[in-house]
Amino acid sequence: MIESPLKLHFNDIHKRFGKRHVLIGANIQLSGGACTVLTGPNGVGKTTLLRIMAGLEKPDRGSIDMGLGATRWRRCYAALRTRILYLHQHPYLFDGSVSSNLAYAISDKHNRCLCQQRIKEALKWAGLTAIAENHAKTVSGGERQRVALARAWLREPRALLLDEPTANLDPEARTRTLELLFRLKESGIALLIASHDPHHFASLADKHLQLTQGILAEELSDNTNVTPFRRAHS
Amino acid sequence: MIYIPCSSAHKIMHLTLHKREIQALLISLLAMFTLPAAADGNNTTNPLIRLATTTSTENSGLLNHLLPVFQSATGYRVHVIAVGTGKALRMGQDGDVDVVLVHAPQAEAGFVDAGYGDHRHAVMYNDFVVVGPGNDPANIKTADNITAAMGKIATMQSLFISRGDDSGTHKKEKLLWKTAGIKPDNGWHKEAGQGMGKVLQIAAELDAYTLTDRGTWLAYRDKSTLTILFEGDEALHNPYGIIAVSTTRYADINHTGALALVKWITSGEAQQLIGDYRIGKTRLFTPSANSDRVATLDDISDNHQ
Amino acid sequence: METLGNATSNALFLLISGDAELWKIVAISFQVSITAILIATPPALLTAFVLAYGKFPGRRVLISLFSTLLSIPAVVIGLTLYLLLSRQGPLGEWRLLFTQTAMILGQIALSFPILVAMGHSALQSADRRAWETALTLGANPLHAVATVMWEVRFGLLAALLAAFGRIVAEVGASMMLGGNILNYTRNIPTAIALETSKGDFSQGIALGIVLLALSFTLNALFYHLRGGGQPA
């Protein structure tokens, strides 16, 4: 990567829905080539945090430091969208073939040849060559996850936020997904994986965070001592 | 940038629109609405004349016979809006048209007196006739004059279809009832609110009487089951006049074009064309621009029998 | 009186023989209605999108307003525009009454609520992840809007066809605003009204056949497109 490794800090993020406080002063950072696993019970707000970080949902309060000083979310959400890619729990594939879904991620479509070449590479990268022309709405759950990852790979984001990427996948599909995630991490992309079952990502994770009742805290690897994860970067 | 926060029940998204995009959109919308107006605004060389006229002149085919000649001779284009006389005069009064060709002498005089038009020019005439079912239930065939005929219809309470649209024919009909001292009753007197052709069809379907101008009648005669039951009274005279809308109220009206049409339609050439216009062997209108005399019944009978 | 069979065979003859006046009327109909749809569709679909995806005060009121506008009779729209565009009206200076532009304005006003209401329900049925996926894959908002619209294109096409079907067959507003001027503002429905009033049923029937064929073709096209675009 030509750019310096990503350092992205989200500070004091607050969000509530009605009277329910989903996030209370959450601090989290993303760094290139590192993988963070975010755990917590279902419905606790992991998805909300990911969506705020991806620039898709507005927090009630909070600042974001993209390396040029702290800014408010509404000033930088567009920048977040260009750098960070969010994958839904069930990734959405557009109406069309697998290839056309991959083409969507290529921003510079002027060079048709190069475009085709890159799609080919992505198909190969994710082992999708055989189903390149299949209709996207007909592929299996595991294939859909890999199409979404291949699309992310083509997009070359600085960070990739994944929502329960292995939920509802059979063991074989899970292994293949993990393998792709490893390769994405190696290429220098920051990974943040939200999962209620963190054990699947033990070999991938550099850090574990836990979200409970609005409080985001670091979970040490021995799983016994939980300390608040506050302003770790400062 | 402005942005519109968006949300479903518990998800918020942001739709952003660039200011420039919005501006471009507004400008193109404005352009769309104002350009045609700007194009129409230039009146010095406006080739477009708007003529409001009665359904009788259009439905009888007369204007289709006349206007192409005028258009190719002068380069003007005439847009014909065919409505009842009342509506046509109203359009002239509102400045929505440049010239009116109608048949209601009293209303026309009022129009000129009020300053909406400068001068009424006689163009042509025909006459009104009363048509009805062949068996003539009110027996108006034997009436001495139109007042008596109308009285018989009212006495017999025979169904009568009225235009009911404030057209020249309707004005005439109301005058006839008034002259006969009759206040039409809703039971047998039905107002259709439609053009002459439609009213002739309604009357045919319902076996009813109606008053029609002879031109329209001749155009519909072959398609109708009705027959002429009363004609020839001097009170049924039906003169047509043309009035250019005055520029005093609407300075940008196409007055030049309107005057050109008035001048042409009262010229010898157009009067000849009007006199020559026939359906089958029957002449529909008698030109009258060059004579101020009131048409006699002989003229009408000569022309139509 | 010509019989129905007679009139119909004359109508077919008019159609087949390529009667110039008849086809001129058809051409005017298409020209006016297609222009109206082309102008109305982009803002209407954007409005529909904002109503489906936006959150702002009065959104629900606006949605029910557009549903109500659906049932406004064409003649009321015609009358309103007539009063606005007449020389006596506030927009009289534009001199638009009895022009094709006036008819186009009337048809825009007629089609807009249909496009918004049907477009709104089509867009509402779209998967919200489509919008977010487009954004997170780097699409700018307009591109993302286009992406979501493409995902529900059949619903939007149905809205377009319904709107076109309404305005191309509508007589009241066209008659009032256009004035039924031969070779200029006489379209299929006003011509049918006139020919019927003149008792010339053949031309009325011929034009009716054109309208029927049109709606049949549009529907067939729509089903063909949908069949080809979606997996079994």
Residue in C closest to A137 by C-alpha: C231
The answer for C 15-54 residues in CB contact with A (under 8 A) is none
- The answer to whether residue A111 scores a pLDDT higher than 70 is yes
Per-residue pLDDT tens over the stretch C155-177: 999 999 999 999 999 999 999 99
B251 touching A (Cβ < 8 Å): no
Higher pLDDT, B43 or B211: B211
Q: A7-93+158-228 is classed in which CATH architecture?
A: 3-Layer(aba) Sandwich (3.40)
What end-to-end distance do the CA atoms of chain C give, in Å? Answer: 54
Closest CA to B271 of B285, B281, B282: B285
Q: What is the pLDDT of residue B128?
A: 95
Residue in A closest to B9 by C-alpha: A17
Say if residues B298 and B139 touch (Cβ distance below 8 Å). Answer: no
Higher pLDDT, A234 or B247: B247
C132 touching A (Cβ < 8 Å): yes
Per-residue pLDDT tens over the stretch C79-138: 999 999 988 889 988 889 889 999 999 999 999 999 999 999 999 999 999 999 999 998
Residue of B65, B96, B245 for testing the chain C interface, max C β-carbons within 10 Å? B96
Confidence of residue A168 (pLDDT cuts 50, 70, 90): confident
Confidence of residue C221 (pLDDT cuts 50, 70, 90): confident
Per-residue pLDDT tens over the stretch A142-152: 999 999 999 99
A57 touching B (Cβ < 8 Å): yes
Q: What is the pLDDT of residue B295?
A: 40
Q: What is the pLDDT of residue B28?
A: 54
- The answer to whether residue A102 scores a pLDDT higher than 70 is yes
Give the mean model confidence (pLDDT) for residues B275-304. 66
Task: Give the residue extent of every domain in chain A.
Answer: 7-93+158-228
Residue of C2, C50, C55, C107 for testing the chain B interface, max B β-carbons within 10 Å? C55
Closest CA to B243 of B126, B149, B115: B115
**Owner of token pair 């204007």:** B63
Interface A-C: count of C-beta contacts within 8 A? 48
Residue in C closest to B48 by C-alpha: C99
Confidence of residue B137 (pLDDT cuts 50, 70, 90): very high
Say if residues B51 and B101 touch (Cβ distance below 8 Å). Answer: yes
C133 touching A (Cβ < 8 Å): yes
Q: C41 Cβ partners below 8 Å, 6+ apart?
A: C115, C160
The mean predicted confidence, pLDDT, of chain B is: 82
C225 touching A (Cβ < 8 Å): no
- Type of residue found at B46: N
As a whole number of angstroms, the distance between CA B54 and CA B143 comes to 29
Is the Cβ pair A94, C132 closer than 8 Å? no
- Residue C147 with chain A: CB contacts under 8 Å: 94, 104
How far is CA A56 from each of CA A51, B5, B54, C20, rounded to the nearest angstrom?
5, 10, 64, 58
Higher pLDDT, C169 or A111: C169
The answer for B 115-174 residues in CB contact with C (under 8 A) is none
Give the mean model confidence (pLDDT) for residues B272-292. 85
Query: Can you give the C-alpha Rg of chain B in angstroms?
Result: 25
Of C49, C98, C180, the CB nearest to B50: C98
Q: What is the pLDDT of residue A27?
A: 93
Is the Cβ pair B21, C95 closer than 8 Å? no
Task: Compute how many other C-beta atoms are within 10 angstroms of the C-beta atom of residue C220.
Answer: 10
As a whole number of angstroms, the distance between CA C201 and CA C10 comes to 9
As a whole number of angstroms, the distance between CA B259 and CA A46 comes to 81
The mean predicted confidence, pLDDT, of chain C is: 90
Closest CA to B93 of B241, B249, B239: B249
C130 touching A (Cβ < 8 Å): yes
In the DSSP assignment, the letter for residue B182 is -
- Type of residue found at B26: L
- Residue C96 with chain B: CB contacts under 8 Å: 36-37, 40
The CB-side HSE value for C107 (13 A sphere, CA atoms) comes to 35
- The answer to whether residue A92 scores a pLDDT higher than 90 is yes
As a whole number of angstroms, the distance between CA A135 and CA C187 comes to 44
Is the Cβ pair B16, A58 closer than 8 Å? no
Q: What percent of chain C has pLDDT over 90?
A: 62
Q: What is the pLDDT of residue B144?
A: 93
Say if residues C192 and C186 touch (Cβ distance below 8 Å). Answer: no
Q: What is the pLDDT of residue A3?
A: 55
C129 touching A (Cβ < 8 Å): yes
Of C132, C150, C151, the CB nearest to A56: C132
Is the Cβ pair A91, C133 closer than 8 Å? yes
Confidence of residue B20 (pLDDT cuts 50, 70, 90): low
As a whole number of angstroms, the distance between CA B222 and CA C181 comes to 26
- The answer to whether residue C12 scores a pLDDT higher than 70 is yes
Looking at CA atoms only, how far is residue C158 from chain B in angstroms?
Answer: 25
- The answer to whether residue B45 scores a pLDDT higher than 50 is yes
As a whole number of angstroms, the distance between CA C42 and CA C30 comes to 19
Say if residues C192 and C207 touch (Cβ distance below 8 Å). Answer: yes
Residue in C closest to A152 by C-alpha: C137
Give the mean model confidence (pLDDT) for residues C170-195. 91
Is the Cβ pair A57, B5 closer than 8 Å? no
Give the mean model confidence (pLDDT) for residues A39-44. 86
Is the Cβ pair C130, A94 closer than 8 Å? yes
Q: What is the pLDDT of residue A113?
A: 83
Give the mean model confidence (pLDDT) for residues A196-215. 88
State the helix-helix crossing angle for A171-186 and A141-155, rounded to 10 degrees. 10
A86 touching C (Cβ < 8 Å): yes
Confidence of residue C190 (pLDDT cuts 50, 70, 90): very high
- Residue A51 with chain C: CB contacts under 8 Å: 132
Q: What is the pLDDT of residue B142?
A: 93
Confidence of residue B226 (pLDDT cuts 50, 70, 90): very high
Looking at CA atoms only, how far is residue A58 from chain B in angstroms?
Answer: 7
- The answer to whether residue B257 scores a pLDDT higher than 90 is yes
At B7, which helix (H) or strand (E)? strand B2-7
Q: Which domains can be identified in chain C, with CATH numbers?
A: 4-229 (1.10.3720.10)
C138 touching A (Cβ < 8 Å): yes
Q: What is the pLDDT of residue C119?
A: 95
- The answer to whether residue B7 scores a pLDDT higher than 70 is no
Task: Compute how many other C-beta atoms are within 10 angstroms of the C-beta atom of residue B186.
Answer: 7
A55 touching C (Cβ < 8 Å): yes
Residue in C closest to B61 by C-alpha: C198
As a whole number of angstroms, the distance between CA C213 and CA B231 comes to 46
Q: List the strands of the sheet with A20-31, edge to edge.
A: A20-31, A7-17, A61-65, A70-72
Q: What is the pLDDT of residue C2?
A: 60
- Residue A94 with chain C: CB contacts under 8 Å: 130, 133, 147, 150-151
Long-range contacts of residues B287-295, Cβ cutoff 8 Å, at least 24 apart: B287/B123, B287/B124, B288/B122, B288/B123, B288/B124, B288/B125, B288/B239, B289/B121, B289/B122, B289/B123, B289/B124, B289/B265, B290/B266, B292/B122, B294/B237, B295/B125, B295/B127, B295/B237, B295/B239
**Owner of token pair 């699947």:** A200
Residue in C closest to A87 by C-alpha: C133
